[in-house]
Copies of this chain bind each other. A is one copy, B any other.
Amino acid sequence: MENSNKKTGDDIDFIESYNPNNYNRPNTSVDLVILTIIDSSLHVLTVKRAEQPFKGGWALVGGFIDIDKDKKIEETAKRKLFDKTGITAPYLEQYGSIGDADRDPRYWSVTNVYFSLLHIDEINCLSVIDGCSVKWSKIIDNKISDNLAFDHNEILTMVLDRIRSKALYTTIPLHLMPETFILSELQNVYEIILDSTIEHKSFRRRIMSSGILEEVGKRKLESGRPAKEYRLKSGVDESLYFFKRNFEGLS
């Protein structure tokens, strides 16, 4: 230990006696991958940058932690999400953190990445449909057509991969649904995320076996037999059900 302390010199025991404000630290931010489904396609919420760097380019929603307002990082994420969408009780999950010397041309930067899945009806449209500085960007083939600022394209792709892999064994796509929905709609959303078709009997058996949905009535469709409408069972606060098996044939 004496040896290793001498060698490295920037050990926790050493450095913490410094005033951190005098020390050359990385910059810390929060970025959000906010996803919804519009016209049967995943879309991500993007904002147009008003300042350098990447001025005029599109970026993920993000910002800095306000250490006076925010008690924890998740509150920063919720605040940013609320600012853009007006949503107060989002499904929000941390992806992880990404930090390196190059991701921001200005400084060594660490971003804490969160993702949120929501149904378009949940949002307060007024705060979004405002000029062209915020828009939903359509995701095709795991990315969007615009190049995003910073490393946001990579972040988007990694988050999408995470969600896709969780869709193989959880009910995470439920968070993209409206309050009530029919099973074929839910299946469509799974298929959009997984980019693959699912056998409908298997799908129904699987979802119903989770026991987290309750029937709320029937819905007449444009054609064909009316479908049972479901919502998340009241009292089920853990809406993320884990199955013991993955969907197979996919990876």
A16 touching B101, Cβ below 8 Å: no
A64 touching B10, Cβ below 8 Å: yes
A138 → B minimal CB distance (Å): 20
Residues of chain B within 8 A of A41, CB atoms compared: none
A127 touching B65, Cβ below 8 Å: no
Residues of chain B within 8 A of A100, CB atoms compared: 71-73
User: A153 at interface (Cβ–Cβ under 8 A)?
Assistant: no
Copies of this protein in the complex: 2
B28 touching A28, Cβ below 8 Å: yes
Residues of chain B within 8 A of A1, CB atoms compared: 47, 127, 130-131, 133-134
Residues of chain B within 8 A of A102, CB atoms compared: 71
Q: Range of interface residues on chain A?
A: 35 or more
Residues of chain B within 8 A of A95, CB atoms compared: 96
Residues of chain B within 8 A of A83, CB atoms compared: 4, 7-8, 11
A115 → B minimal CB distance (Å): 12
Task: Identify A12's interface contact among B12, B64, B96, CB under 8 A.
Answer: B64
A58 → B minimal CB distance (Å): 12
User: A2 at interface (Cβ–Cβ under 8 A)?
Assistant: yes
- Please name the residue on chain B nearest to A94 by beta carbon: B96
Segment 21-56 of A: residues with Cβ below 8 Å from B: 21, 23-29, 47, 49-51
